[in-house]
Amino acid sequence: MKIVFATNNAHKLSEVKAVLGEGFELVTLKEVGIVEDIPETGETLDENASIKARYVYERTGLDCFADDTGLEVEALNGAPGVRSARYATDGHDFAANNRKLLRELEGVTNRKARFRTVISLIRSGEEIQVEGIVNGRIATEEAGCEGFGYDPLFIPDGESVTFAEMSADKKNSISHRGRAVAELVKVLTK
């Protein structure tokens, strides 16, 4: 099954490929001629996932899906949430975002957080959304160099190390994106 994944993030692409498995041929944005950044102007993860998927569908007419992910920290009332990519700066500066998060949580004992991924799938013009969540906590210092984004600071429940200290397979088996893609597979193979 051929399907466009609306991302330019190589980490996301390989994570999603691994969970989707062999039965699916993922086509990248570049391969369908979309080289610009798709504007993420929504106020929620659901809106942004939908905006990105529709952007691709309107330009290509191809079956496609897009994901939007946010880190929601309880003590920060759900921030950075939909602003996770641009938490510290206008760009996707992972190191600056992690520094800011540690600063905001200095002296805070409630470190509870969750990652939430929303995927919008458009198939034959019809849109469906699925979601994946992983609960965990924010570490007091960065650890590990696998993965991307907030991975060096996020310790999932039931684990003692951060996502950045895990293999890609292990992260995929418990992560927000892994769970959302598992739901996506259910829809695609129904």
Residues interacting with ligand IMP, by CB under 6 A? 9, 67-69, 84-85, 92, 94, 97, 147-151, 163, 175, 177
Active-site entry in 37, 63, 67, 68: 68
Which residue, judged by CB position, is nearest to ligand IMP in the bound state?
A: 149
CB of 64 to ligand IMP, least distance (A): 15
Residue placing its CB nearer to ligand IMP in the complex, 23 or 36: 36
Query: Is 169 an active-site residue?
Result: no
Residue placing its CB nearer to ligand IMP in the complex, 63 or 72: 72
CB of 10 to ligand IMP, least distance (A): 12
CB of 190 to ligand IMP, least distance (A): 25
Residue placing its CB nearer to ligand IMP in the complex, 93 or 127: 93
Tell me how far apart the alpha carbons of residues 185 and 190 are, in angstroms, rounded to a whole number.
Answer: 8
Residue placing its CB nearer to ligand IMP in the complex, 94 or 187: 94
Contact 67, 82 (CB under 8 A): no
- Residues carrying an active site annotation: 68
